[in-house]
């Protein structure tokens, strides 16, 4: 008889695995020289990362074969690849802080940050090749494909910033590549480490794509719906900063006249005053976009959960579903 997987059990497992992942990451990059190469790599991994992607890798493995023992190196590879993208993203965004600490290029310099990121890619592949698996070529292919796709997504994001006539299709393509692919790759790699069948891998990838999109669109939704302080930033920050979100682009499609002009001014002027946030939120509501967005998030989440139904190990499958529900019931 299978024990029901409650939210409490999911959170307990997540806390345990989070510690195990962090402990294992702490053993990486143990070389001392060159200092400006390895110290920044250790520094970025000491940040307050949620470790969502490696946790999904381990759960995927357990849902396929009942164990994540052979998937730890693969999970670490995924997380190191993710952190490489953060280092380079911060350079491109000219960001000064990440999780309340100086970004790598501010703590050292841009050249050190670029070089460290490059080294971390190679290190991630090396970890994948050290995994206890006879499917190393597949693992490297998954990481390579994820890496290239993330780069495509970042390029599309930069293009989207300058595009005056951006569409919902443009936005969904960008988030699928920039955010969604590494989530689906984390699950796919966990499945390969567990020797999954092609059908099982297809289910894991579909789950990742759906939950990844729901998670990103939910970010847009929570930005306008969360009370100040919940997300650590001002409610409506995306509007104030002129960010092209699902809600803004969809509202532009549905509005006309003065309302359309107001929304379009957010894009043209690359932002709007904080005093206008309440008015824009009311406009989103009047267009029906808030309700539509919530429905899309729920639809994607339900389709993600259904995609897991043919995975063989019930407990691992239910932990994956439970963690997805924890992610999608957040208010931050």
Work out the percent of the chain whose per-residue pLDDT is above 90. Answer: 90
* Structural domains for the chain: 7-328 (1.10.600.10)
Q: Kindly report the number of other CB atoms within 10 A of residue 100's CB atom.
A: 8
For the chain, the C-alpha Rg in angstroms (whole number) is: 20
**Chain mean pLDDT for the chain:** 94
The Cα–Cα gap between 8 and 323 comes to: 10
- Average the pLDDT over 231-251 and give the result: 86
Question: What are the structure tokens assigned to 103, written together?
Answer: 């970004």
Asked whether the predicted pLDDT for residue 230 surpasses 70, the reply is no
| Residue 232 pLDDT > 70 | no
- Model pLDDT for residues 70-106, shown as the tens digit of each residue: 999 999 999 999 999 999 999 999 999 998 899 999 9
pLDDT tens per residue across span 160-205: 999 989 999 999 999 999 999 999 999 999 999 999 999 999 999 9
Q: Residue 297 above 60 pLDDT?
A: yes
Which two tokens mark 277? 């946030």
The alpha-helical segments, DSSP class H, found in 66-135 are 72-93, 104-107, 110-129
For 9-32, the pLDDT digits (tens) are 999 999 999 999 999 999 999 999
Give yes or no for residue 226 having a pLDDT over 80: no
Listed residue (68, 245, 272, 252) closest to 165, CA to CA:
252
| DSSP code for 177 | I
DSSP string, 24-56: HHTTSS---SSHHHHHHHHHHHTS----HHHHH
pLDDT beyond 90 at 134: yes
Average pLDDT over residues 232-244: 83
Query: What pLDDT is recorded for position 2?
Result: 59
Which of 25, 73, 75, 81 lies closest to 55 in space, CA to CA? 75
- Is residue 150 within 8 Å of 177, Cβ to Cβ? yes
């Amino acid at each position: 008889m299978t024990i029901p997987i409650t939210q409490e059990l999911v959170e307990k497992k997540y806390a345990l695995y989070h510690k195990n992942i962090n402990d294992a990451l702490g053993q990486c990059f143990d070389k001392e020289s060159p200092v400006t190469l390895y110290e920044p790599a250790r520094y970025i991994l000491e940040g307050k990362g949620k470790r969502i992607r490696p946790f999904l890798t381990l759960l995927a493995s357990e849902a396929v074969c009942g164990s994540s023992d052979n998937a730890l190196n693969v999970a670490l590879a995924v997380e190191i690849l993710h952190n490489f993208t953060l280092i380079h993203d911060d350079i491109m965004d000219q960001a000064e802080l990440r999780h309340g600490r100086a970004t790598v290029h501010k703590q050292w310099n841009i050249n050190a940050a670029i070089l460290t990121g490059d080294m971390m890619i190679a290190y991630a592949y090396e970890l994948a090749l050290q995994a206890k698996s006879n499917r190393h070529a597949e693992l490297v292919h998954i990481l390579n494909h994820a890496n290239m796709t993330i780069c495509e997504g970042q390029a599309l994001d930069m293009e989207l910033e300058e595009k005056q006539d951006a569409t919902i299709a443009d936005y969904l393509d960008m988030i699928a590549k920039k955010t969604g692919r590494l989530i689906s790759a984390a699950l796919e790699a966990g499945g390969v480490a567990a020797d999954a069948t092609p059908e099982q891998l297809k289910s894991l990838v579909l789950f990742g794509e759906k939950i990844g999109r729901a998670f990103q669109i939910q970010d847009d939704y929570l930005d306008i719906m969360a009370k100040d302080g919940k997300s650590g930033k001002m409610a409506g920050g995306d509007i104030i900063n002129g960010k092209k979100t699902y809600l803004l682009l969809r509202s532009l499609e549905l509005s006309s006249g003065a309302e359309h002009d107001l929304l379009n001014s957010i894009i043209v002027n690359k932002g709007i005053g904080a005093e206008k946030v309440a008015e824009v939120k009311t406009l989103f509501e009047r267009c029906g976009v808030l309700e539509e967005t919530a429905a899309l998030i729920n639809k994607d989440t339900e389709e993600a959960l259904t995609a897991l139904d043919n995975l063989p190990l019930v407990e691992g499958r239910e932990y994956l579903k439970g963690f997805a529900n924890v992610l999608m019931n957040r208010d931050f």
